[in-house]
Structure 1
Amino acid sequence: MLAFLYVQKTEGGKQHKAFEKMEKMEKMEKMETELEEKKEEKQMEKAVNNQSPRNTSVFDVNGIPTMGKAVPLGLQHVLAMIVGNVTPAIIIAGVVGLSSSDRTLLVQCAMFIAGIATLLQLYPIGKVGSGLPVIMGVSFAYVPTIIAIGAQYGIAGIFGAQLVGGGVAVLVGIFIKHVRQYFPPLVAGTVVFTIGLSLYPVAINYIAGGVGSATYGSYANWVVALITLSVVLFCNQFTKGYFKLASILMGIVAGYIIAFFFNMVSFAPVAEASWFAAPRPLHFGIEFYPPAILSMVIMYIVNSVQAVGDLSATTVGGMGREVTEKELSGGIIGNGVASIAASLFGGLPTATYSQNVGIVAMTKVVSRFVLGIAAAFILLGGFVPKFGAVMTTIPQSVLGGATITVFAMITMTGIKLIIQDELSGRNMSIVGLAVALGIGITQVPESLALFPDWVMMVFGQSAVVIATIVAFTLNLILPQKTLADEQQERKEMEQEG
């Protein structure tokens, strides 16, 4: 019996020692694992600390890829914005009757200020600029209002109104958090929709050859315009890659070639232009007219709020996050500052370019360096008058055939914004009345013939101004009613009956 107990005790002691040994081994293994993990963490930390400041990722905002990658991706952005940037300048030059050299200079300044505005957004100075991967350029949204101002007060009146409007944009940027609520998608969409509609006569006049042209309405103009439009549609709908992206450019190239064989292209402006010249401050002058200023201020407020959409689409689509209030504020302030500078150097009002936002959202290429390369190319065009002169040789019928698709997309963008809110009776009244009064009054300007001249300037020339004021006011004063509320009202009326 004692022998048995002794054996059990001995075996128990061995097992106990075995367990202790196992525990010690487990502890040692755990300690070794922890030490290995810490060693790896230190190595990673050391690698991060000692790594080159050059981050080559195109999918990182601060990435600096090789020039081989950056240049093609940057040129892609240039192709997407170039036509939209120079065309408003060509249109305005025709409206105010600028000479060939001044017309070239206006296009040159459009490139110069677009490059400066883009760089300011990419690399902010203090609170000026968003720091987001966006491309800036001259905006079509201002064209109807600028045409009205230019026809009445000339190019100097445009830049005077723009200077004040840019200052207002800076204020909107500072207080965007409080202003934004007054411009819901319904109001903003109504304004954008009206902008698109009001640009259609501009496109048709260009398709016909341009107002005042000796060949206005000729078969040749319509043939060239329709060929241009057909190429734009074909590239946009049936091709991929660069051809789809640069569909408008492809259309203009095709139309330009056809127009050349129709003897519609003159290279005289190119021969007269120099190879290099710096923009000339205040060359076009600057004058201040209250009616023009009021019209432009309204447009700057609306377009500043519209910038919220583009900046938000950039961060959500390209970076997978919501835009911050600091970025919104800096972006709008940056646009205001750029517009103030543009008014002094001869550039037209700028805005974020939605087509470039679309490229960022589609490719996820958010490197500011890539877009900085694009800005450098754009800026280069601002110092080469030959480039601006080449742009002015594009026949108006070619521009009309290409830009009517842009104007159509602006209109449809407005509709997309409008239907973000439900189409209740209240909302349809706001949209319907704003567009009806805006388009209606500008189509019959003589209806304001007995009013003071300033009334005609503010309300009789630009449908966008009227639509903005009406939509903004009605949205504030009409009671909020949803489709469900309206249905309930009808049920109550039936019960009462």
Structure 2
Amino acid sequence: MSENSELIYKLDDNPSNKESFFAAIQHVLASFIGIITPTLIIGGVLGLGDEIPYLISMALMVSGVGTIIQAKRPMGIGAGMICVQGTSFAFLSSVLAAGFIAKANGGGPDQILSLIFGVCVLGAFVEIAVSQFLDKLKRVITPVVTGTVITVIGISLIKVGFTDLAGGQWLLTNKPELFASFDNLFLGGLVMVAIIVAHKYGNQWVRLSSIIIGMLIGMIAAVLMGKVNFSAINQVESIISLPVPFKYGFSFDIAAFIPIALIYLITAIETSGDITANCMVSKQPIAGKSYIKRIQQGILGDGVNSLIAGLFNTFPNTTFSQNNGVIQLTGIASRYIGVWIGGILIVMGLFPHIGALFRAVPNSVLGGATIIMFATVATAGVKILTHVELNRKNMLTLAVSFGMGLGVLLVPEVVNTVSANIGGDLGSIVKSIFGSPITASGLSVIILTLFLGEYPEEYNPIIQDFPLDGEHSAKVKS
């Protein structure tokens, strides 16, 4: 469906039950893997074991509730559109860092999850506050800031995906001789090839489901190779998963909180872009008071949904961008579809065997899909940066920000040594803030954006490095 074609159902239209269910299924297919994948990665890296099926159930259930909130806009919370909510990849590194803090203190799964959900709940108030002061953050909400942070998020996550493709972190730590074995590399490569082929030869519906198709093919191959352990499914005793507020307790650590709070600020900026794209495909205004109000209420919805997520034992939520493509593909922008999507996700979350089934997916199969998904995040950041004018200020800002972020990623020993020399709680805080490439680059780009401000002169590197007066500037532009 072309960008200029008419919608079959507009924002406030209410399709029949049959059409609504069919449209909702397409949205679920587009977002399902993205909702559960962060939980699978976090559970695997932190060794959460038997808790993973329950965490997946909660991820699906809370995503469903959040999607309904965004669609129905109760008490002015939510964008009033099809804004499918799902576990955010942006928080992955910071959540893992918080988990490792608890693990380093001798904590088990309960203590790890208690700290993660504690800081995520408190961090959600950052995004809630940002939604109320969105118009005051114009100097920070720029393509340079968002593009830099999203690019570094994607690049830093590629390491996680590539590790899974070769067998996973547990194998690397405990059985390094089996890491990057032929079997693991074959399965991961097979998934990647299947996803690529689905994009090249499939119709629109096949392309929409390419991630699921790739993982399904990889799973079948893994079963034939004897690489799937189905015992985890049989070990699930309960038939239904019920949400229990703060099931694992509540704890707090400032060193774990600061990076997560910063990511909440970044995801608020990212959500504004996703909702703008949704407005475009849904034929809604992208300027004026109604548009600003929709953005503010949508970001508020993201914050409230992340608060609910932490309360009910899952990781922060955000608005998924891939579902904008489904709206354009189906021609159905009705916000009532969001209620159907949420209902389907809630029903899926009620049954823990679904989570146990995905826990049985080998890391190499998961890695073959996630490395593409994570690289896509980085590419999205690069796409934003292509719209940035590379004047002296922006080039300096990008250079320093990427230098700090990628420097920390490639040589983490620098920050580890500095934090060890400082010692105590202050050393832990320094390590938590500057030990993450996302927070290192994010803080750098925000500080430089505020400090450098606007250059008084225009600059054209093709001519030479000197200021241009107004007359010459106009000629250069022409």
Normalising by the residue count of structure 2, what TM-score does the alignment of the two structures yield?
0.87
- Paired residue for 2:14? 64
Alpha carbons of 1:330 and 1:398: their partners in 2 closer, same or farther (altered >3 Å)? Answer: same
In structure 2, the partner of 1:454 is: 429
Q: CA deviation at 1:180?
A: 3.7
User: Counterpart of 1:188?
Assistant: 146
Which residue of the other structure, out of 239, 244, 266, is the alignment partner of 2:229? Answer: 266
Question: Which residue in 1 is equivalent to 2:86?
Answer: 137
With 289-298 and 250-259 compared, the bigger mean Cα shift is at 289-298
1:422 alignment partner in structure 2: 389
Instruction: Give deviations 1:330-368, integer Å, cap 9, x for gaps.
Output: 111111111111111111111110111222234331112
Unaligned 5+ runs, structure 2:
1-6, 103-111, 469-478
**1:92-123 Cα shifts (integer Å, max 9, x gaps):** 112222122x1111111110110011011001
Maintained 8 Å contact 1:58/1:365:
yes
- Higher mean Cα deviation, 88-97 or 444-453? 444-453
Cα deviation code 1:266-321 (max 9, x no counterpart) = 11121122321212221222211011111111000111111110000001122242
CA distance in 1, matches of 2:200, 2:318: 27
* Distance of aligned partners of 1:492 and 1:291 in 2 relative to their CA distance in 1, 3 Å threshold: closer
Alignment partner, residue 74 of structure 1:
24
Per-residue CA deviation, residues 137-184 of structure 1 (Å, 9 max, x unaligned), is 001111111111111122222111111111111101111121243120
The answer to whether the 8 Å contact 2:82/2:338 transfers is yes
Q: CA deviation at 1:67?
A: 2.1
CA contact (8 A) 1:248 1:402 kept: yes
- Of stretches 149-158 and 228-237 in structure 1, the one that deviates more from structure 2 is 149-158
CA contact (8 A) 1:186 1:419 kept: no
Structure 2 partner of 1:203:
161
2:437 aligned partner: 463
**Residue in structure 2 matching 1:88, options 9, 21, 38:** 38
SS at match of 1:212: helix
Q: Which has the higher helix share?
A: 1
Tell me how far apart the structure 1 counterparts of residues 346 and 316 of structure 2 sit (CA, whole Å). Answer: 16
Report 1:155-234 matches (<5 A): 155-213=113-171, 214=175, 215-234=178-197
Deviation string for 1:369-397 (max 9, x for gaps)?
Answer: 22321211111122111111111111110
Q: Could you tell me whether the CA contact under 8 Å between 1:422 and 1:482 is conserved in 2?
A: no
Mark the structure with the bigger radius of gyration. Answer: 1
Q: Tell me how far apart the structure 2 counterparts of residues 430 and 223 of structure 1 sit (CA, whole Å).
A: 41
Of 337, 340, 344, the match for 1:370:
337
Match of 1:332 in 2: 299
CA contact (8 A) 1:183 1:472 kept: no
Q: Residue 486 of structure 1: CA displacement? A: 4.6
Q: Distance in 2 between matches of 1:491 and 1:395?
A: 58
Distance in 1, matches of 2:13 and 2:371, equals 37
Is the contact between residue 240 and residue 352 of structure 2 (CA under 8 Å) also seen in structure 1? yes
Equivalent of 1:407, from 374, 380, 386? 374
Percent identity between matched residues is 28
Structure 1 residue corresponding to 2:364, chosen from 377, 388, 397: 397
How far the C-alpha of 1:325 sits from its partner, in A, is 1.6
Report the Cα distance in structure 2 between the residues aligned to 1:112 and 1:103, rounded to whole angstroms.
14
Aligned residues: 435
- C-alpha distance in 2, partners of 1:364/1:175? 33
